[in-house]
Amino acid sequence: MPVGALEKRKAYLAMGGIGVVCAACYLGLSLQLPQGRLDQPGPGVFPIVVGVLLTLASLVTIWEGWQLDRREQIAMPVGSDLRRLLGLIALLFGFLIAMPIVGYIVSSALFCILLMRILSDLSWPRVLAYSLAMCAALYGAFVSFLKVPMPRGIWDFWQ
Amino acid sequence: MNSFAKSTLAIIIAGAALSAGVATAQEYPSRDITFLVPYNPGGATDPVSRQFASQLEKILRVNVNVENRPGGSGTIGLGVIVRSKPDGYTIGLSDIGALAYQPLINSGLAYKTPDDYQPIVKLSEQPIVLVVRADARWKNFDEFLAEAKKNPGKMRVGVNGLRTAPDLVIQQFNKVSGTRIVTVPFSGGGGEATIAVLGGRIEAMANSGAGNLGHVRAGTLRALAVFTKGKYEPFPDATPVGDSYDATLGSAFYVVGPKGMPPNVLNKVSSAALQVVKSEEFLKFTKTHVYVADPKDSQEAKADILQFSKTYVDLLKFIEQR
Amino acid sequence: MTTVDGILYGLQVVFTYQNLLAALAGALAGTMIGVLPGIGPVAGIAMILPITYSLGPTAGIIMMAGIFYGAMYGGSTTAILINMPGESASVMTCIDGYKLTQKGRAGAVLTIVALGSFVGGTVAVAGVMLFAPALGQFGILFGPAEFFALTAGGLMILSRISGGTLAAGLFPMAIGIMLSTVGQEAVTGYNRFTFGFNDLSQGIELVALVVGLYGLAEIMLVVETVHRRVRPVKVGLRDMMPTRTEFRRSWAPAGRGTIIGFIFGLLPGPAATLSSFASYRLEKAVSKHRHEIGEGAIEGVAGPETANNAAATSSMVPLLALGIPFNAITALMLAALMVHGIQPGPLLIPNHPEIFWGVIVSMYVGNLVLLFLNIPLIGVWVSMLRVPAYIFLPLIVVLAVIGSYSVRNSIFDVYIFLLVGIIGYVLRKLEFQLAPMVIGMVLGPLIEKHLREGLFMSLGEVSVFVNSPIAITIWILVLIIMTFGIQRALLERLFGIKLGKVALGGNE
C-alpha cells in the first residue's frame, strides 16, 4: 500500500506563512477602502479587523507548527492514488472550463464518461451506457423539469 | 478516444449545424425567449416580470422563460443581457438604479450609457413612501418636517441600504429643502427597517409602498408622505411631497436588450412589449401590486433613463460635498 | 377564533384535494431537495416558485412550507452518510453523524434524526399555533445592538466548536470571514476586493462554499483511496433501530434543540443554520457526554437536527403575524402571497384565517407524513452506500455542480465550488476544522452589518451596543459560556463538586 508522507510541522509552518502573506495583502487592500466616520462607518472598517484576525490566526498556526513533533506525518497520496486524484482535478477543471463553451449536456457527459473510466475497469461500452443514462436522468430532472438554466454554450441557438 | 466516441461526436456536431441553419432561416421569434431578472426570485421585480413575460408569450406565441440572475445591485444580470447575442432571444428587466446610478459609481461594468444597450419599453414606476409608527407624535408630514428642520442631523429614516432608491430620494429632498434628515441603512431586507420603526429605534422609514401597505392598513404604521407629484392611490392620506418640492426619485423598471438588434427583430419585440404594457390586463396588475403604470416606447424610455442619469449626477455632487 | 375552532377550520382547509396534495408534494419535494447535495431549500423553493404561482395562495404557501421543513428532514442524510451537507444547516451534523456512520450506526442515526425532526417540527407548530401574534412582537425587541451581541458573541463562542487545537479552529474561521468580505457589501453598496471583475461583486455564495468545502473535498479523499475502501457491510433491520442507550441519550439534546430552534426562528437571519450551530455548541457545554461530542456522539446529531426543524417552523411566525420575512425562504413565501394580491401584515391572520390555520394544520399533517416517509426511506439511503464508487462519485459531482450553479444561475459559483474544494482538501489533510470556516462565512457579514448599522443608527454613539438590557444579557451569557471550563475547574477545586454528575439530562 503505497502512502507518501509529509512532515506535519513543515505543512503547518507553510500554511501559517501563506496566511501571513495573505493577511498582509488583504490589509494593504483594506487600507485603501474608505474608512468613513464614526457615525458613518465606511466599507474599510471591518476588513481591517478581519485582516488583523487573520494575521493572529496565521501566527498561532506558525506557533503551533513550531511546537509540533518532527515525527508527526501527514499521509500523502503517491503512485496510482495521486494519479487518480490529479485526474479528478484535471477533469473537473476541464468540465467547468468547457461548460460555458460547449454547454452543460456535452461537458457533463464527457466528464462522467472519463471519470467513470478512471475509477473503474469497466469496458468503454458499459461506461458509455452508464454515463449517458445518468446524465440523461439528471438533465431530465433538473433542466427539463425544474428548468435550471444550465449553460448551453454553442448550442444556444437550439431549443 | 475510440472510433465509437468519435462517430457519436460527429453526429452531434452535424445535427447541431443542421438545426442552426434551420433556426436562422425562420422568422423571429422561432424559439423560446429568455427573460432575465437581475434580482432574487421573490424580489419586488419578480411578479411584474412574470406578468410581463406571460403576456408577451401570448403575443409572440413562443415561450418566454424568466431566469433570475441576482447580485451586484442588479448589475450582474444586466451585464449578462448587455453581453448576450443581439438576436432578440435574450432580453430582460432592469431598474433605473442598475441602469443609470451604478455606472456612476462602478467603473467595472459592461455598460455606461443607454447607447451600450437597447431600451425596449418602460414598464412601471414605484414611488417611495415615508412611514412612521402609528402612535408617533407627528400627525402629518408638515409636523415631521418642522421637527427635522429644528434638529438637523437628528431625525433618522431607515432605508434598505445607502445609495438605494429610498436613500437617494431622501437625499434629494435634503438637497431641495435644505434639511438634514439622516438615513440609516438596514440592508437585511425591508423587514429590518420596519421592525426598527415598530420598535421605536428610529423615527421613520422610507421604502417602496408595497412592503408596508399591510402595516399601514392594519394601523400599526402610518404613511406620512409619498415622493410623487399628486396623490398616490394606495396611500390616500400620505402628503404628496412632489407637489411642493422637486423630490420624486423612485424606482423605475424597464425592459432592455443588447445593442445591435436587427431592426425587424427590434420592431417586433418592442411593439409587442408596448402592446403588453398598454393592455387592460397589465394596467390592472400594476394597480393591485402598487406599481404606477408608465408605458413608454423604446425612444421615450431612453430619454427617461438619460433624464434620471442627469439627476443622479447632480445628486451625487451634493452628497459628496457634505 | 379560539384555538380549537382554528384547528377544526384548518382541518377543513387542509383536507381538500388540492391543499392536501400540496402539503404532500411539498414535503416529498423538500425531502428530495434536502437529500440532494448542494440543492438547499432556498434554491428548491425558487425552482418551484413558478409552479406555486399557478396554485391558490393557501396551497402555494402550504407547499412552500412543506419544502422548507421537508428539506430539514432530508438535509442531514448526505451529511451523515457521506460527510456532505445537503445545505448549510446540516454542517454541524457532519461532524458526529459521519463518525457514527463509520462505526456502522448510519441507520440508527438517521432514525434518531427523523424522530428528532418530527419532535422539533411538531412542538414548534404547537408553539406557533398558540402564541403566533404575541411571538411576532419578539423580533421587534431585536435591533442592531442586540444582533451585534448575538453574532459577535456567537462567533467567540463558536470559534472552538469542533475541538482540535486553537489554530485548527481559528485559522479556517479567519479565512471564512475574509472570503465573506469579497464583493459588493450591503450597507453602502461598495465593491470590495473585486479586482475589477464584475462577477466577483456578487460575492461568494454560501451554498457553493459548503458543497465545495465538504463535498468536493470528501470526494477527492474518496477518489484517492477508492481501491482501499472497505465496502460497507449490509445493514440488517436491527442495526436500523437505535439502541436504548442511544434513545436515552437523545431526548435531552432534542428537547434543548427544540427550544433553541424555536427562539432562533423568531429572529431575523439564517435561523435554521444559526440554531444548529448554537445547539451543537450547547451540547458540547452541558451534555453529560460532552467529551465524546466530535468523536461520534448521538447528542451532536440529535440536538442540531431538532433545532433546525424547530427553527424552520417557527420562522413562519414573523411572516404570518407581522408580514415580515426574516430569511430568504419566508421572503419567497411573501412574494408568493403578494403575487396573489394578498397584503401580508398584522391583518393577515384575521383577514385570511384560511392561510394561517391551513398552514398550521398542514404542518402537523406534513410532519406526520414525513416521519412515516423517512423511516422506511432510511433503508434505501443506507443501501446507497453500497452503490459502486464509479457510479456514485460522478453522480454526486455533477449534482453538486448543478446545485452550486442553480442558486444564482451563475457559472462563477461553480468555479468557487472547485477552488474551495481544493482548499478544503488541503485543510482536511492538515487536520484543520472545516465547520469554523462556514461559521465565519455565515456570521462575518452579519457582524459587520450590525456593527456598522448600529453606529449609523446611534449617530456614532458607541455606547448603543451596551445600552440595551437584551444586549447586556447576551454578553453576560457569552462570558459565562466561554469561561465554562474555568468555572467547572474552580468549583471542583474549591468545593469538590463533580459537575458532571449533576449536568442536565438524567443519570449516568
Residue A48: exposure state from Cβ atoms within 10 A (0-12, 13-18, ≥19) = middle
**Chain B CA closest to residue A124:** B2
Q: Which amino acid is at B67?
A: E
Q: In angstroms, rounded to a whole number, what is the distance separating the alpha carbons of residues B122 and B86?
A: 19
- Does B225 map to a domain? yes
Which position has the grid cell 461594468? Answer: B109
Higher per-residue pLDDT: C483 or C20: C20
For CA atoms C414, A93, C423, A62, give the dihedral sign. negative
For an interface test with C, give the residue of A22, A61, A74, A97 to mutate (most C CBs within 10 A). Answer: A61
Instruction: Note the pLDDT of residue B109.
Output: 83
Instruction: Please determine, for residue C389, whether its predicted confidence score (pLDDT) is greater than 90.
Output: no
Give me A76's grid cell: 500523502
Least confident of B275-279, C374-378, C456-460: C374-378
For an interface test with B, give the residue of A105, A147, A157, A158 to mutate (most B CBs within 10 A). Answer: A157
Which of chain C's residues have a Cβ under 8 Å away from the Cβ of A75?
429
What is the residue extent of each domain of chain A? 3-77, 79-157
Highest average pLDDT, of A45-54, A62-71, C318-327, comes from: A45-54
**What is each CA distance from C140 to C146, C313, C445, in whole angstroms?**
11, 19, 21
Longest dimension (CA), chain C: 68
Which of chain A's residues have a Cβ under 8 Å away from the Cβ of C451?
41, 45-46
pLDDT band at B78 (very low <50, low <70, confident <90, very high): very high
- The CATH number of whichever domain residue B306 belongs to comes to 3.40.190.150
**Chain A CA closest to residue C51:** A146
- Does C242 map to a domain? yes
pLDDT band at C499 (very low <50, low <70, confident <90, very high): low
Give me B27's grid cell: 422568422
Same domain? B55 vs B102: yes
**Pairwise CB contact (< 8 Å): B218 & C457:** no
Residue numbers of the domain that contains C251: 3-502
**Chain A CA closest to residue B154:** A39
Whole-number average pLDDT of chain C: 85
Higher per-residue pLDDT: C186 or B78: B78
- Following DSSP, what letter does each residue of C410-454 receive, concatenated? -HHHHHHHHHHHHHHHHHHHTT--SHHHHHHHHHHHHHHHHHHHH
Least confident of A53-57, A76-80, A101-105: A76-80
Whole-number average pLDDT of chain A: 89
- pTM, whole model, 2 decimals? 0.86
Same domain? B99 vs B183: no
Which of chain A's residues have a Cβ under 8 Å away from the Cβ of C422?
89
Highest average pLDDT, of A71-75, A119-123, B169-173, comes from: B169-173
- Does C199 map to a domain? yes
Instruction: Note the pLDDT of residue C506.
Output: 34
Compute the CA torsion angle C56, C61, C66, C69 (nearest 10 deg): 170
Q: Which of B222, B243, B264 is where one domain is finished?
A: B243
Which of chain A's residues have a Cβ under 8 Å away from the Cβ of B4?
124-125, 128
Instruction: Note the pLDDT of residue C508.
Output: 29
- Does B99 map to a domain? yes
Instruction: Note the pLDDT of residue B26.
Output: 63
Average pLDDT (C117-138) is 87
- Does B196 map to a domain? yes
Q: Residue C477: phi, psi to the nearest 5?
A: -60, -45
Instruction: Note the pLDDT of residue B204.
Output: 95
Q: Which of B243, B263, B298 is where one domain is finished?
A: B243
- Does C508 map to a domain? no
- Does C335 map to a domain? yes
For an interface test with C, give the residue of A8, A146, A152, A156 to mutate (most C CBs within 10 A). Answer: A146
pLDDT band at C235 (very low <50, low <70, confident <90, very high): low
Instruction: Note the pLDDT of residue C440.
Output: 92
Same domain? B216 vs B132: yes
Please give the ipTM for the structure prediction. Answer: 0.93
Instruction: Note the pLDDT of residue C416.
Output: 93
Q: How many CB pairs under 8 A join B and C?
A: 159
Instruction: Please determine, for residue C477, whether its predicted confidence score (pLDDT) is greater than 80.
Output: yes
Give me C205's grid cell: 455564495
Residue numbers of the domain that contains B193: 128-243
Give me B158's grid cell: 431607515
Shortest distance between the Cα of B67 and any Cα of chain A, in A, equals: 7
Which of chain A's residues have a Cβ under 8 Å away from the Cβ of C431?
74
DSSP β-bridge partners for residue B64: B33
Spatial contact of C290 and C337, defined as CB atoms under 8 Å apart:
no
Average pLDDT (B103-130) is 90
Instruction: Note the pLDDT of residue C18.
Output: 87
pLDDT band at C304 (very low <50, low <70, confident <90, very high): very high
Touching A: which chains, 3+ CB pairs < 8 A?
A: B, C
Beta-carbon count within 10 A of C142 CB? 25
Pairing of strands B128-133, C183-184: unpaired
Least confident of C40-44, C143-147, C296-300, C465-469: C40-44
At B290-317, the pLDDT tens digits run 888 899 999 999 999 999 999 999 999 9
Shortest distance between the Cα of C452 and any Cα of chain A, in A, equals: 6
Of C187, C226, C398, the CB nearest to A84: C226
For an interface test with C, give the residue of B195, B198, B220, B290 to mutate (most C CBs within 10 A). Answer: B195
Q: What share of chain B is helix, strand, coil (3-state, %, to 5)?
A: 50, 20, 30
Which of chain B's residues have a Cβ under 8 Å away from the Cβ of C140?
195, 198-199
Strands annotated E in chain A: 3-7, 36-37, 40-41, 73-77
Instruction: Please determine, for residue C230, whether its predicted confidence score (pLDDT) is greater than 90.
Output: no
How many independent structural domains does chain B possess?
2
Give me A117's grid cell: 473510466
Q: Which of B243, B273, B295 is where one domain is finished?
A: B243
pLDDT band at B21 (very low <50, low <70, confident <90, very high): very low
Instruction: Please determine, for residue B10, whether its predicted confidence score (pLDDT) is greater than 70.
Output: no
**Pairwise CB contact (< 8 Å): A41 & C223:** no
Which of chain B's residues have a Cβ under 8 Å away from the Cβ of C270?
none
- Does C105 map to a domain? yes
Least confident of A9-18, B13-22, C343-352, C366-375: B13-22
Q: Which amino acid is at B41?
A: P
At A28-51, the pLDDT tens digits run 999 999 999 898 899 999 999 999
- The CATH number of whichever domain residue B133 belongs to comes to 3.40.190.10
**Pairwise CB contact (< 8 Å): C223 & A119:** yes
- Does C363 map to a domain? yes
Of C194, C332, C338, the CB nearest to B108: C194
Instruction: Note the pLDDT of residue C280.
Output: 92
pLDDT band at C383 (very low <50, low <70, confident <90, very high): confident
Shortest distance between the Cα of B32 and any Cα of chain A, in A, equals: 7
Instruction: Note the pLDDT of residue B175.
Output: 93
Strands annotated E in C152-295: 183-184, 191-192
Instruction: Note the pLDDT of residue C426.
Output: 92
Q: In angstroms, rounded to a whole number, what is the distance separating the alpha carbons of residues B44 and B67?
A: 15
For an interface test with B, give the residue of A45, A126, A156 to mutate (most B CBs within 10 A). Answer: A156
Give me A126's grid cell: 458499459
Shortest distance between the Cα of C73 and any Cα of chain B, in A, equals: 24
**Pairwise CB contact (< 8 Å): B42 & C186:** no
- Does B19 map to a domain? no
Q: In angstroms, rounded to a whole number, what is the distance separating the alpha carbons of residues A95 and A93?
A: 5
Of C192, C389, C421, the CB nearest to A33: C192
Q: What share of chain A is helix, strand, coil (3-state, %, to 5)?
A: 70, 10, 20
Instruction: Note the pLDDT of residue B201.
Output: 92
Q: Residue B91: phi, psi to the nearest 5?
A: -130, 180
